[in-house]
A and B are shown apart, each in its own frame.
Chain A
Amino acid sequence: MTRRLAALVALLLATPASAETIAIVDARLMTMTGAGEIERGTILIEDGRIAALGANVSVPAHARVIDGRGGVVTPGFIQADSTLGAVEVSQVPASADRATHNAAISAGFDISLGLNPDSILLPVSRLAGITHAVTTPLYDDRRGRALQFAGQAAVIDLAQRPQMVTRPRAAMVLEMGEGGAGRAGGARGSAIVQLRATLADVRHFAAHRAAYDRGEGRPQALSRVDLEALVPVVQGRMPLIVKVDRASDISEMIALAREEKLRIILDGAEEGWRVAGEIAAAKVPVILDPLADLPRSFSELGATMENAARLHAAGVTIVIKTGSGVAHRARELRYGAGNAVAWGLPHDAAVAAITVNPARVFGVADRVGTLEAGRVADLVLWNGDPLEPLSQPQVLFVEGTEKPLTARPLELRDRYMAPLP
């Protein structure tokens, strides 16, 4: 009985809230599937699901019709490498749950726990067409670069509901290169040796859990919580996000991942274009900020606006992000994608880099990232090219629910804006 009740509750929660039929008509549809772009099409949404889409979809008489002329429909955007839901004011530590300096919880830090569905940052980001984020732990280095791993990232939705986690523990976060060297005592050689030792420890732990729990395991540098969290990484079930920028660091991590049979995702990779063929051959996806074009460190001397375009041209799956650990400025995601286009990335590839690509890389492509019949509606109608600042969203659905295009900053605006003539 209890189980049936639980199943019923689960079903109710899974059912999209909008019991309504809505048709967005005469819009350009960027499906991000094999269907490509439909120049002038209709999307029919029934009870929060895409019932049909295409150039010749008949609209039922009872449907609410939204005129999409001149507009574009895209899947909801996904901000990778964000801290959305885990921070309210960056410099107010008590309002942030994005990093830990607990020495016993490094890889074990699970950011999907304790997120804030009421964060006012979520509706602000929705105003930029963002419906999901990969909320990713940062390192808390206030007491020095003590921890090896930052923790585990989660995919979340921005619907402002308690069940906001689309996929918990979607990836493990590790900084290597210059930052990793700092964590391992000051040298890259130390960081790589430490990583190999850690991976060996985790494998040993996974094979000898019982002995470990009897206190008979070999001495381990990491806590039990951290070792447990890393088991899916060494088994290739959980991808490892590796933050590196220098070309040689990228090559080194690709070689290490091959030897250790790890699934890695490169994050940053500002010099990625210099080893683009190698990254493509290894089928390693890259998360990058297209605007990072300055030599901010000795690991980023080759930074260029053309990184995104060159990696894409070499066949690398790219995911576009804004900055690093972004929250408040997540709303600039589409501008970053637009700049990548200005610097040579095809427009559809730029949209893919903020929709279907992150959905695939983080294992949620069965739910979000594309426009397909039968799927829960997770989409945005724009009044023009979605990558242009002068375009704005007109209609937005997050996982089947239409969300109002309002947010606290707009309420502030309205409070202080003089009445329009």
Chain B
Amino acid sequence: MRHASLVLLAATALAGCAASDRPQPAPAPAADAAPAIDRDPYPSTYRAPAADRVALVGGTVLTATGEEIANGTVLMEDGKIAAVGASLAVPGGYRTVDARGKWVTPGVIDAHSHLGAWAQPESVEAHNDVNEMTDPNTAQVWVEHSVWPQDPGFDAAREAGVTTMMILPGSGNLFGGRTVTLKNVPSVTMQGMKFPGAPYGLKIACGENPKRVYGGKGRSPATRMGNVAGYRKAWIDAQDYARRWDKWDKAGRSGEAPKRDLQLETLAGVLRGEILVQNHCYRADEMANMIDISREFGFRIRTFHHANEAYKVASLLAKEDICIATWASWWGYKMEVFDAIEENAALVHAAGGCAIIHSDDPIVIQRLNQEAAAALSAAWRAGIRISKADAIRWFTANPAKALGIADRVGTIEAGKNADVVLWSHDPFSIYARAEKVWVDGGIVFDRADARYRRHSDFLLGQSGETK
């Protein structure tokens, strides 16, 4: 784990360089020390679950590096993948889990979730903390401050193999706020779930939602051109803000520091490449506009979310190295998603791009494997040859890339965090259920053991399944 300096060296709040132990401030550069600004004021307190040495033996392993290993062995030690391969010998000291007839994949990663921020029971207005629709630019809000770790949706997702997810603010605003990446472990605090070292994201929304919300209030944006004007004004302000902090920094941080502005701090963090742009954007033409805006102001877009028309600009997205996070089955609920097709992910994949199957939904997050199967089936129907060993990346390795955590999770490779799912069947089968789930080598779900189910305090003592 990396430790963050707590002094503001750059102009912005640097995201997520969290550590288990809160690091000491670095020495101040001058006697009249500049005010120290904590770049990680809500640090992760995540502790990996207790891990023993585990060998999964005899299963079909989809590594998400392109391999399908029959009769595979996966060794987990000290929270990491120690080895993976066909018919590996199991060294002494490992507890063996019989995976014969079953399948093994990396932990499922959802690149787009609102769990915790719009928690169950979701029909209760008090639980809707996802959209700060009070201004078209709310880049200053951090969705982690809306996350309620007792959301029963986290349990349901964990029982379905989801080990990591990015929680985003809603899409009612041009700038919705910061995202947060969480590990799906039971915790009383958000900090206890926070993925150590994961970068922050900035949620930006294209198209119908912002213009509907604010046009409906008689404010800008009321049109798509109003949306773009809103983005550009914000980036101009952010450039100015970054310059003022740079100037102060280059002057040895003497004299009065510029006043902090949370909204601009986040935008400036994007300009510095520290915060990843997570852009809700459906239409191909709007994605092209957003790419031009990113060039105009010198930042990169990491992922287009929903992106149901990505197939129309697949080669552009591949060239720009921008991931798309989409569904197979959702379409037609509004005009900008009228042209959605089930083959979207496959066509982006076939063009050499980074395709992701995401949920945006507390039900779909429980079956991202099935949503991917529907996308894969559509590919096969179209004659596009994509293997299961490749398609598994759509809800493991590729979202890890989009979230900036691919060096730690998303594949089953030696040295990676041991986030692993043991499935009852081929995960592309409708009958597959997660049987066991490990996070950092520690078991967090075992279908055979009732202690691993329903951690949420909300359901305690209620009628129904908890008995």
A interface residue numbers (CB < 8 A to B): 88-92, 121, 247, 271, 274, 291-298, 300-304, 327-329, 331-332, 335, 338-339, 341-343, 387-392, 409-410, 412-413, 416-418, 420
Contact = CB atoms under 8 A, between A and B. Distances in A.
B261 interface: no
A335 B367 CA distance: 10
A89 B429 contact: no
B432 interface: yes
Nearest to A330: B329
Nearest to A179: B123
Nearest to A247: B463
A410 B339 CA distance: 10
B166 to A, nearest CB: 20
Given A298-B121, A335-B374, 14 more contacts: A271-B463, A271-B464, A291-B363, A293-B366, A300-B121, A301-B462, A302-B463, A302-B464, A302-B465, A328-B331, A342-B433, A388-B429, A412-B339, A417-B347
Contact of A294 (B152, B351, B381): B152
Contact of B380 (A291, A294, A335, A390): A390
A390 B367 CA distance: 15
Contact of B373 (A329, A389, A416): A389
B156 interface: yes
A311 B44 CA distance: 44
Contacts of A332: 329, 374
Contacts of B340: 409
A341 B430 contact: yes
Contacts of B208: 91
Interface SS of A by simple majority: loop
B121 A121 contact: no
Given A295-B120, A296-B120, A338-B431, A416 B332 contact: no
B332 A294 contact: no
A296 B362 CA distance: 10
B343 A295 contact: no
B333 A89 contact: yes
Given A89-B335, A294-B153, A302-B463, A409 B341 contact: yes
B408 interface: no
Nearest to A246: B463
Contacts of A388: 373, 429-430
A90 B5 CA distance: 49
A328 B330 contact: yes
A304 B366 CA distance: 13
Interface in B383-404: 383-384
B27 to A, nearest CB: 50
Contacts of B380: 390, 392
Contacts of A292: 363
A409 B342 contact: yes
B334 interface: yes
Given A389-B374, A412-B341, A295 B332 contact: no
B430 A89 contact: no
A331 B329 contact: yes
Interface of B: 120-124, 152-153, 156, 208, 311-312, 314, 329-335, 338-343, 347, 350-351, 362-363, 366-367, 370, 373-374, 376-377, 380-384, 428-433, 458-459, 462-465
Contacts of A329: 329-330
B126 to A, nearest CB: 12
B357 to A, nearest CB: 12
Contacts of B350: 418
Enumerate the 8 nearest inter-chain pairs by beta-carbon distance, A residue then B residue, closest first.
A302-B464, A338-B430, A328-B332, A389-B373, A91-B334, A297-B123, A90-B333, A409-B341
Contacts of B432: 342
A374 to B, nearest CB: 33
Contact of B347 (A89, A300, A416): A416
B383 A420 contact: yes
A91 B377 contact: no
Given A335-B430, A413-B382, A417-B347, A296 B122 contact: yes
Nearest to A120: B332
A90 B208 CA distance: 13
Contacts of B373: 388-390
Contacts of B374: 332, 335, 389
B370 A389 contact: yes
B141 to A, nearest CB: 25
Given A90-B334, A409-B340, A297 B156 contact: no
A325 to B, nearest CB: 12
Contact of A297 (B124, B382, B384, B458): B124
Given A331-B329, A335-B370, A304 B123 contact: no
Contacts of B458: 295
B333 A389 contact: no
Nearest to B374: A389
A304 B430 contact: no
A329 B123 CA distance: 21
B343 A413 contact: yes
Contacts of B367: 291, 339
A328 B333 CA distance: 7
Nearest to A291: B363
30 contacts: A89-B335, A90-B333, A91-B333, A91-B334, A92-B334, A271-B463, A293-B156, A293-B363, A294-B120, A294-B153, A294-B156, A297-B122, A298-B124, A301-B463, A302-B462, A303-B464, A328-B332, A341-B430, A342-B430, A342-B433, A389-B370, A390-B377, A390-B429, A392-B380, A413-B343, A416-B312, A416-B347, A417-B311, A417-B343, A417-B382
A304 to B, nearest CB: 5
B233 to A, nearest CB: 27
A249 to B, nearest CB: 13
Nearest to B151: A294
A418 B330 CA distance: 23
A411 B343 CA distance: 12
A392 B377 contact: yes
Contacts of A417: 311, 343, 347, 382, 384
A4 to B, nearest CB: 45
Contacts of A295: 120-121, 152, 458-459, 462, 464
B382 A274 contact: no
A410 B342 CA distance: 9
A296 B373 CA distance: 26
A388 B34 CA distance: 62
A90 B337 CA distance: 11
A327 B366 contact: no
Contacts of A409: 331, 339-342
Contacts of A303: 464
B325 to A, nearest CB: 18
A296 B430 contact: no
B66 to A, nearest CB: 19
Nearest to B152: A295
Contact of B430 (A301, A327, A387): A387
A410 B334 CA distance: 19
A389 B378 CA distance: 9
Most buried by B among A329, A339, A389: A389
Contacts of A298: 121, 124
B347 A304 contact: no
B434 to A, nearest CB: 11
B311 to A, nearest CB: 5
A297 B121 contact: yes
Given A92-B334, A295-B152, A329-B329, A413 B341 contact: yes
Given A389-B377, A413-B311, A294 B382 contact: no
A121 B332 contact: yes
Given A302-B465, A420-B383, A391 B334 contact: no
